Structure 1
């Protein structure tokens, strides 16, 4: 009798597992179908407008002369500031919370709020950047103000990802290092960080991909929709690719939608290149450790 009950129980669990598996497969298939349709539409509209001139021209009032060069250089300049600032602050914060801070109410309060900040709408960070960087610190509507605003946007994501990566390092490794005479900082620098780098970089890739594709915060802190120069200092005026694409989609002529699609293709290519470089760095560190 018991064997029969156990068999029916196991059979029920297997059926539930199969149902849930097919639900996940269907959900993934729906997402992939819509993604394929979106990419197909963008490619069909934008490929014909891609050219060398499109990549090296500045914005222009005429479709055949419009280009994305200012947006490309502005996005690269912005992310070159955002990436080191947010990485340094994020990893240091995660190291403090996981390795040095005591487990008390205040520390738990900080951790909960960092996790909540990762889900705050990006427009809120734009208002924060406008208040502090543009007005309070009088940076104006410049590249450094936009880059620091985007650093605030991605900082909680990097902190959470770095915490999870550091927490995943087995405690036995730390204990073995300290037992052999290493200091706490030597253990963190030579053991914990190399083991956590793959996870930290994975979270950072997602964060930087979000930063380079955001528009709302940069509208608040004054990124231009069209500019005819590239930033040559931290206090230069600037634009970014999403801003230029946004300005093209707002125009009434249908041809501008195709130009915007070409800009989206360039943005996707740059994101893929960034991800490929980050994955290569992650794998290199993973092999070394």
Structure 2
């Protein structure tokens, strides 16, 4: 992109941009960095156009700069069972809340004991646990959007695990704590999950469990509005769809998820096993 830096804006024409882009793809640079450079150039040119410095944006290459997300893995109900049975019991509830309720790792680690309603079968997401890689600082913060602060109905087949966890491993204030009684570290959850994943032979990440939850809920009949409400997604384009979400639908979705877990996996349904570590 250095060859474009010394050119006046009016000299950066569509043919010039196409020539630069073609040479960049033939060079040693990675496609990701080339795409980032193209998007940056396009943004600069959009600003110049809005300011009247140029008439058209010269970045007109179809598909250039498109950031295609890697397709995420999805675990089957049977694989979720295997993961739960293979992981250290202290972390079983963390796997199930991600896989069947779509909670993020930070949301799991941020759960308070008071957020888990064992009577009505609802988990309230109110905080997100943040752990900065560049420092030992760890703290709780509010969800980024109002949609992120939400109640999530728990599938009935998951409730025994939450009850066991509340009895055996929950702290007085926090639902997930380490052996030292301090808030459970997200990295500890991740490492325990990786060990179980290797043992089972399932090629999914912990975050893929959230994607799994979305897919399973859709299979259980959840609508787009249901999914957005359940997973805490928010966008301006989808705000009207929230108005059409029927009250009580999340509970119906949770019930259907348990039926989905049972179908074809009767012999492999999760069994409550209390093993203290």
Query: What TM-score do you get using the length of structure 1 for normalisation?
Result: 0.28
Query: Does 1 or 2 have the higher relative contact order (CA < 8 Å, sep 6+)?
Result: 1
TM-score between both structures, scaled by the size of structure 2: 0.29
